[in-house]
Structure 1
Amino acid sequence: MSAHRVVITGVGVAAANALSAEELARALVERRSGIRQTDAFGLDSRTRSAGEVDLPGSSPEGVDRVSRLALHAAEQALRDCGLDLDGSWRANTGVMLGTSRGPALSLERFMRSGSEEVRRELFAELPFSSIARNVAARFGLGGVQSTVTMACVSSSLAMGRALDEIRRGRASVMLAGGADALTSLSFSGFSVLRAMSPTLCRPFDHRRNGMVLGEGAGIIVLEELQHALQRGARILAELCGWGTAGDAYHATSPHPEGRGLQQAMTAALRQSGLAPEQIDFVNLHGTGTPANDPAECHALRGVFGARTEALPVNSLKPYFGHTLGASGALELIGSVLGMERDFIPPTLNCEELDPKCNVDVVRGEGRSRRIDVLMSTKSAFGGANVALVARRLPEARRETR
């Protein structure tokens, strides 16, 4: 039996420069970053910049900030997809979310508090599984429920696994994506590694000197194609394949030749049934760290060969920071929103291309170009790599925001 086709019918975001998909699309066109100075953690760090999210409303008692970010994005995504919130579809709809740090703020409070009452209240939020649990409970979703954690590829893995659930006929609708919140743990950890920039995130620029942290959530509604067509859904794109592979090289540094990333991209193309020449644009991980960016560019050449010279690529991290486990989902959403508009967002702050990153980085102004097929890649500490492929679905009903 052939695999079911899977489409994206709704998206929701919480980012430093946008609290909705519409806002994110505008921010990318306007080249508007949400990164700003912060003293939220009072740490003696060489950087004070971060992508903080201004979530509306008050914080629900006992719910960790990472779940609040996920709930905001999930509510948007469900509203965006047009499914009847009172419908029977909820009983079998699954939730698969990725996170790197999980409910770390609750853990920090738990460790600092001397009150047994406070510790009891926080205890239910401490497991990473609380994120998917909170989303499923809020919206009454009774299908498969999972929280995936593999550092910065967590939400990419979650979306890939959710895609598999539908392709194999185990679900018709899935919420997938991820969330991570800014925490003292993140700031102190990356500061010790000297991985954060004291100035700007400059992916692929020869002056790049590290990442800028961010927080946020990106959640998509994945739906089996016929299920979406029968209800007349607006379809943003088809998620047609994914691949994952490990470097087996180093705990924090990527393989210099991007070995695992090459394998992940090749696997994603194979599952999609596409050839490298059919990819019109690649959204890269692009952290702005000295080792990551050249390794990604090397991996590109390993997969796309001479065509790499004319293959547009970008990084979206200068817009809202490196959102860790949420980055895969947020950046896939940003790329799909650009594809809807025949637009490739530029890589902010990349002014003087590093010769080691001699690929077609979109910088300065964005590019007006029709994109039929895109790839989004993410890499993580531990050598994990994921590539996702999405394409237009011309035969389906489409309504650009």
Structure 2
Amino acid sequence: MPTPRPTTERAAVVVTGMAVTTAFGRGTDALRAALAAGEPAFADVTRFDVSRRRAKRAAHLPGDPVLLDELGDLLSQAIDQAGLDAATAAATPLLAARHSDASWPRQPLTAQADCHSAATGSALAARAGLRDARRTYTNACVAASTALADAAALIASGRAERVAVAAGYLVDQDVFALFDAGRALADDGALRSFSAGRRGLLLGDGMAAVILESASAAERRGALPLARLLGWGRAGDAYHVCQPHPEGHGMARALTAALARADRAPEEVDYLNAHGTGTSYNDSAEAAAIHRAFGAHASRLPVSSTKSLTGHTLEASGLVEFAVSVLVLQEGLLPVNAGYTGQDPDCRLDLVTDAPRRLKPTTVVSLNAAFGGANTALVLGAV
């Protein structure tokens, strides 16, 4: 298949295949049902010993799943849903996002060359029958959303007809210990995004794969899009190594850039899937960013953080929450902001509390932020 030539016109980007796994279970239908039920997936950690930890809970699958196996299965599901034949898949590049493998530095030096993130991305592409892994992203909680933005830019500019994106994180002992020692994990067993009395985040298993392609390429194949990726924005605030700017400057710039690229006014957005980690600094800064970017519409914009249901899936969160946003467009049901105990004066938002809210949105936004002041926003549209 010839490589598409760049054009001066921006190609429309659509989602034609999607698969996702969280602690609720394997497959998109498990997540769909969980979002409708609105009950968090947190339970006592059984994957490793937490008897000496402050926090005892996370959202994880039973047993000890293998990340590459799980992602390989999800990519196969997404490729099948998109209707890609073997030859088309073999011409499709992969952008992958993942957490660093905790076992890598413990391997013998002779084996480490085959264990780093770029090598595992290449192995994943080969396993799924894709062309190659152009990049593997490890830039914290915006790894997957950065991969999505780069994939969309490749397609919109005409440099690729379609791109596969995969991302994954499995709750592991090293990160759990690190976050617990830093008192970032909620010791009351709940992730209470934007809530008064919130006590921190909780980790969660999350893996997803999507196929993005140009609308014209999908139409030629007769593929039915699941959603449109209308716009994307990225911005940094360089305020602090692990705290966002308290006024949300970076997140607000990412939101404004994404809306401008999508050609959408703030009041045209029907729902925002927030980063919402349940930490004091993030949630108040994010609320400030939403008000800064959306102005008067911020008080009327429904907001929830599905991390309150799935846990924080770290490098995979941008893609897991992108999948949530697609399901919101399809189902017309806004996920609940679980664990809410009352309003924080610094987080005055129209939060979806108590139960999912019925609404048929046409435009939704997914917002993510990361250590180091990195911020991303993605605007999705219904088909």
Whether the TM-score (by the shorter chain) exceeds 0.5 is yes
Does the alignment pair 1:190 with 2:179? yes
**Per-residue Cα deviation, 1:289-346 (whole angstroms, up to 9, x for no partner):** 0111111110011011111111001100122210000001001101210210111111
Does the alignment pair 1:280 with 2:270? yes
Unpaired runs of 5+ residues, structure 2, are 1-7
Could you tell me which residue of structure 2 aligns to residue 62 of structure 1? Answer: none
SS of corresponding position for 1:134: helix
- Superposition TM-score, scaled by structure 1 size: 0.89
Equivalent pairs counted in the alignment come to 374
Q: Give, as a single letter, the amino acid of the residue that structure 1 aligns with 2:100.
A: G
Q: Is the 8 A contact 1:332 1:376 kept in 2?
A: yes
Could you tell me which residue of structure 2 aligns to residue 337 of structure 1? Answer: 327
Does the alignment pair 1:158 with 2:147? yes
1:205 to 195, 201, 205: 195
SS of corresponding position for 1:291: helix
**Per-residue Cα deviation, 1:213-250 (whole angstroms, up to 9, x for no partner):** 11221211101111111222121111011111111100
Could you tell me which residue of structure 2 aligns to residue 107 of structure 1? Answer: 104
Does the alignment pair 1:50 with 2:50? no
Does the alignment pair 1:90 with 2:79? no
Q: Is the 8 A contact 2:79 2:89 kept in 1?
A: no
1:12 to 16, 19, 22: 19
Q: Give, as a single letter, the amino acid of the residue that structure 2 aligns with 1:238.
A: R
Does the alignment pair 1:321 with 2:311? yes
- Superposition TM-score, scaled by structure 2 size: 0.93
**What is the alpha-carbon distance in structure 1 between the residues aligned to residue 44 and residue 106 of structure 2?**
24
Displacement, 1:144? 5.5
Could you tell me which residue of structure 2 aligns to residue 138 of structure 1? Answer: 127
Matches within 5 A, 1:1-400: 1-43=8-50, 44-54=52-62, 65-84=66-85, 86=86, 88-99=87-98, 101-104=99-102, 106-107=103-104, 109-110=106-107, 120=110, 122-143=111-132, 145-199=134-188, 200-393=190-383
Q: Is the 8 A contact 1:343 1:367 kept in 2?
A: yes
Q: Is the 8 A contact 1:8 1:223 kept in 2?
A: yes
Displacement, 1:275? 1.4
Q: Is the 8 A contact 2:20 2:27 kept in 1?
A: yes
Q: Give, as a single letter, the amino acid of the residue that structure 2 aligns with 1:93.
A: T
Could you tell me which residue of structure 1 aligns to residue 3 of structure 2? Answer: none
**What is the alpha-carbon distance in structure 2 between the residues aligned to residue 318 and residue 341 of structure 1?**
19
Q: Is the 8 A contact 1:201 1:212 kept in 2?
A: yes
**What is the alpha-carbon distance in structure 2 between the residues aligned to residue 304 and residue 54 of structure 1?**
41
Unpaired runs of 5+ residues, structure 1, are 60-64, 111-115, 394-401
**What is the alpha-carbon distance in structure 1 between the residues aligned to residue 197 and residue 113 of structure 2?**
44
SS of corresponding position for 1:357: coil
SS of corresponding position for 2:288: helix
Deviates more, 1:127-136 or 1:244-253: 127-136
Q: Is the 8 A contact 1:66 1:103 kept in 2?
A: no
Displacement, 1:125? 4.4
Q: Is the 8 A contact 1:52 1:182 kept in 2?
A: yes
Which consecutive aligned stretches of 4+ in structure 1 deviate over 6 angstroms post-superposition? none
How high is the sequence identity, in percent, across the aligned residues?
35
**What is the alpha-carbon distance in structure 2 between the residues aligned to residue 125 and residue 39 of structure 1?**
29
